[in-house]
Amino acid sequence: RETNRFWVQGLHLQRLQLASGTNAKKDWSDHALWWEKKKTWLLKTHWTLDKYGIQADARLLFTPQHKLLRLQLPNMKHMKVKVNFSDRVFKAVSDICKTFNIRHPEELSLLRKPRDPKKKKKKLEECEEEALELEGIYSSPGLYSKTMTPTYDSRDGSPLSPTSAWFGDSPLSEGNPSILAVSQPISSPDILVKLYKPPSLLDKAKINQGWLDSSRSLMEQDVKENEVLLLRFKYHSFFDLNPKYDAIRVNQLYEQAKWAILLEEIECTEEEMMMFAALQYHINKLSIMSSDNHMKNSENEVDEVDAALSDLEITLEGGKTSNTLGDITSIPELADYVKVFKPKKLTLKGPKQYWCTFKDITISCYKSREEAHGIPAHQMNLRGCEVTPDVNISGQKFNIKLLIPVADGMNEIWMRCDTEKQYAQWMAACRLASKGKTMADSSYNLEVQNILSFLKMQHMNPDPQIIEPITTDINPECLVSPRYLKKYKNKQISARILEAHQNVAQMSLIEAKMRFIQAWQSLPEFGITHFLAKEELIGITYNRLIRIDASTRDAIKTWRFSNMKQWNVNWEIKMVTVEFADEPSLSFICAEVDCKVVHEFIGGYIFLSTRAKDQNESLDEEMFYKLTSGWV
Ligand SMILES: *[C@@H]1O[C@H](CO)[C@@H](O)[C@H](O)[C@H]1NC(C)=O
Ligand SMILES: *[C@@H]1O[C@H](CO)[C@@H](O)[C@H](O)[C@H]1NC(C)=O
Ligand SMILES: *[C@@H]1O[C@H](CO)[C@@H](O)[C@H](O)[C@H]1NC(C)=O
């Protein structure tokens, strides 16, 4: 009994005895030893007990590695899934995504359910979950028991076996997309009202404390069998989103966006809310139709997707490698009359009109067109600035709010455009310039088009003739956030949604979902993950770190990853320090959040930004670990 090896051999014998005894079918291969006190799995069977530091009185648990987890998917439905509790979370998520046929699992992770201190009663919570349970669909517990073969083609992401096979008696038959690819309308407004509690930035920061550590196992992080964990897109950088291969990924992403908007986890304007509602209404309608017709049309679907895609060139910013070479000889420029102003609350000075030119990443403002060859009255370099829209389409207000980094913080400048076209051109140029790119970048025209279509989707249609009669199939209570139900009558909301619907009524199902995701990405607060540092709020996005004023939600200062030299964590004092090429480093103390979570977000985004479209699917897992586990 001196060595672990001997001990494991003994265990082995025991297994054989069991196997040849009464319960011949019992398979022990999934079992392993768990050392409860030290919270570690003893997976290295060639190690001695001594090497593990185990004494005679240690209590070891011989327990299955695979256990059931109740996963809440981005669409808020719960599913029971068998997960390897001894795998690193990163690998476990990767397996879960394989089960659900979701490509790019590195973009997702598991989040603990935020505890509501005011709602201690467990019963209430369970009720909520019950209401959202997916009926009759549970991934079979034996899912992993036979083989661990991937269920999708890693090259194109297509299912290798009919997805229906995974879900046993699923009502959807062969050739159908899995039910996870179909959006289910919210069935009752009560669910929305119950869940609705618009979080403040501080609340959002608290939620982010719940991200699990990717480099440790579920068991090591005290996750219990049958516990509810949330599966979410963690990094808001969606690589190579392709409706042809990503039916489930697109749908779950759409669902995550939909709930974020309905629960006001992300801010949007009233016009935007109506546009999102119209898209939702459209998607709900088409989803019902497509599941009715799917038997007949599954062949056409692919053609439809192709057709939609040829019209809709989709770029999703994060992780995208853009062609900056372009035509260097002639970088496009903008020159126009634009109103420019500083929001000085104490002065009555309104917007003043200037002749402005936009060259490279610099805006120069002159008193008039004639003086454009002289010295500009103002000049702004937009690299690293924060660009925020302030738009009211019915009020014909097209403002661009710029927060430009200066030595002691951010300089706030507003620009007011007269038309949608002008706004789209300048806004697109500002967005690129903030990332250090010029209008020569291949994404410029696409960005302009995206902004225009985003605005167009919010247009009001004054012609009452073409408005559909108010039908009974519209449930405004399930399409807008509960705040609007207090503000307006349901009838009024229905009318506005139907009006807005005309802008999107021609879209195919997949296009509508992609547009929804794209519009979500256009919201100013999109993709900012908030953390509570000591006495300050830090935001992390795919390309920058932001120090945020929690009360105004404004950026106090930003730091770009592109400018970063290195970062490190002092685990003892819980301090993250990020060093930059040409500016003082940023340091902050992780307050309630584990530094590992922050560390992983920075490393994760750095890793994701290195992905390139022409690369093969295979993920450099080790690299991801290195960047996210504190080894760098
Ligand atoms: C579960 O994860 C552990 C740790 O990564 C691994 O050694 C084991 O083979 C996994 N079990 C199965 C059945 O894949
Ligand atoms: C937008 O403009 C319209 C028309 O001027 C106005 O009635 C409405 O209140 C404005 N909305 C917001 C959110 O400012
Ligand atoms: C990508 O994978 C395919 C097939 O798996 C292979 O033929 C090709 O050489 C790979 N390309 C690169 C750049 O690794």
- Read off the pLDDT of residues 584-600 as tens digits, 9 standing for 90 and up: 899 999 988 999 999 99
Quick check: CB of 43 below 6 Å from ligand 1? Answer: yes
Find the largest Cα–Cα distance for the chain: 97
CA 168/CA 138 separation, integer angstroms: 9
* Centre of ligand 2 from the C-alpha of residue 271, in Å: 9
Please identify, by atom number, the ligand 3 atom nearest to the C-alpha of residue 155.
5
Mutate to test the pocket of ligand 2, among 275, 394, 487 (most ligand atoms within 8 A of CB): 394
CA 453/CA 19 separation, integer angstroms: 65
**Atom 12 of ligand 2, nearest CA residue:** 392
Which residue is listed with tokens 């599966």?
A: 231
What's the confidence (pLDDT) of residue 23? 54
CA 268/CA 314 separation, integer angstroms: 22
* Centre of ligand 3 from the C-alpha of residue 613, in Å: 13
Helix axes 270-311, 509-522, angle to 10 degrees: 130
What's the confidence (pLDDT) of residue 326? 42
Quick check: CB of 148 below 6 Å from ligand 1? Answer: yes
* Centre of ligand 2 from the C-alpha of residue 394, in Å: 7
pLDDT < 70 regions, the chain: 1-26, 116-178, 290-329, 344-349, 462-472, 612-619, 629-632
CA angle 549, 550, 553 (to 5 degrees): 70
* Cα-based distances in Å from 600 to 215, 235, 618: 10, 10, 20
Quick check: CB of 396 below 6 Å from ligand 2? Answer: no
Q: Do 393 and 458 touch, CB atoms closer than 8 A?
A: yes
Mutate to test the pocket of ligand 1, among 44, 65, 89, 217 (most ligand atoms within 8 A of CB): 65
Helix count (H) and strand count (E) of the chain? Answer: 15, 21
* Centre of ligand 3 from the C-alpha of residue 612, in Å: 14
DSSP string, 152-192: B-TTT--BSS-GGGGGSS-SS-TTSPPGGGSPPPP--HHHH
pTM score: 0.82
CA 521/CA 105 separation, integer angstroms: 20
* Centre of ligand 3 from the C-alpha of residue 616, in Å: 6
* Centre of ligand 1 from the C-alpha of residue 43, in Å: 9
**Atom 6 of ligand 2, nearest CA residue:** 395
**Atom 5 of ligand 2, nearest CA residue:** 395
Q: Do 332 and 443 touch, CB atoms closer than 8 A?
A: no
* Centre of ligand 1 from the C-alpha of residue 86, in Å: 6
What's the confidence (pLDDT) of residue 180? 83
**Atom 12 of ligand 3, nearest CA residue:** 616
Q: Which of 573, 567, 578, 569 is nearest to 591 (CA)?
A: 573
Write out the two tokens for 560. 């770009």
pLDDT, tens digit, 9 for 90 and up, residues 492-542: 999 999 999 998 999 999 999 999 999 999 999 999 999 999 889 999 999
Closest ligand by atom to 392 CA = 2
Closest ligand by atom to 399 CA = 2
Please identify, by atom number, the ligand 3 atom nearest to the C-alpha of residue 616.
1
Please identify, by atom number, the ligand 1 atom nearest to the C-alpha of residue 29.
13
Mutate to test the pocket of ligand 3, among 616, 617, 619 (most ligand atoms within 8 A of CB): 616
* Centre of ligand 2 from the C-alpha of residue 399, in Å: 14
* Centre of ligand 1 from the C-alpha of residue 189, in Å: 42
Which residue is listed with tokens 């080790």?
A: 622
Closest ligand by atom to 612 CA = 3
What's the confidence (pLDDT) of residue 462? 63
- Dihedral of the alpha carbons of 91, 97, 101, 105, in degrees to the nearest 10: -80
SS3 for 239? coil
Quick check: CB of 394 below 6 Å from ligand 2? Answer: yes
Quick check: CB of 270 below 6 Å from ligand 2? Answer: yes
SS3 for 533? strand
Quick check: CB of 616 below 6 Å from ligand 3? Answer: yes
* Centre of ligand 1 from the C-alpha of residue 93, in Å: 13
* Centre of ligand 2 from the C-alpha of residue 269, in Å: 10
Please identify, by atom number, the ligand 1 atom nearest to the C-alpha of residue 91.
5
* Centre of ligand 3 from the C-alpha of residue 153, in Å: 14
SS3 for 23? coil
What's the confidence (pLDDT) of residue 7? 47
**Atom 7 of ligand 2, nearest CA residue:** 395
Closest ligand by atom to 620 CA = 3
Contacts of 441 (CB under 8 A, 6+ apart): 322, 323, 324, 326, 432
Mutate to test the pocket of ligand 2, among 271, 392, 397 (most ligand atoms within 8 A of CB): 392
DSSP H helical segments within 369-460, as ranges?
420-434, 444-456
**Atom 2 of ligand 2, nearest CA residue:** 395
